[in-house]
Amino acid sequence: MIERDVGGLRCFEVLELLSEYVDGELDESTVEKVEGHLLGCPNCERFGQNFGSMLVALRKESEHGPKAGLDVMARLLQQLRRATTEP
């Protein structure tokens, strides 16, 4: 299964290119080949979809992830004020 040649690419080659594909960093002809493979290879297509979903979930971490809390910010600003007013 992982040796299938679909659309001019083998499954392993698609695995190698997957991050560059989802990041939009491949040239047009390689994108066409990857997409041709994904259309004809349900296994790679399913993995690619789920890999992409993981990246979407990661992006949400910047909204929900740890923030500099009010106490941290208050300490930081106080320390910076002190440090930057010292002669």
Partner 1 sequence: MPDRRKQDDLSSDRDLVAQTAAGDRRAFESLVERHAAAVLRLATIVTDDPVSAEDALQQTFLSVYRNAASFRGDASVRTWLLSIARNAAYRLRTKHGQEQLMEEPLMTLGLEAGWGSDNPEALAIAAERRETLVRALQVLQPIDREVVILRDVEGLRGPEAAEVLGIGERALKSRLHRARLRLAAALRASSAGNPRDGEGARNDRT
Question: Which residues of the shown chain bind partner 1 in the complex (CB under 8 A)?
Answer: 1-2, 11-12, 15-16, 18-20, 23, 25, 43-44, 46-47, 49-51, 53-55, 57-59, 61-62, 64-68, 72-73, 75-77, 79-81, 83-84
Task: Identify the sign of the CA torsion 56, 58, 62, 64.
Answer: positive
Composition of the chain by helix, strand, coil, percent to 5: 75, 5, 20
Q: In the chain, which ranges are E strands? A: 5-6, 9-10
**Nearer Cβ to partner 1, position 39 or 57?**
57
- Closest distance between partner 1 and the C-beta of residue 48, in Å? 9
**Nearer Cβ to partner 1, position 8 or 73?**
73
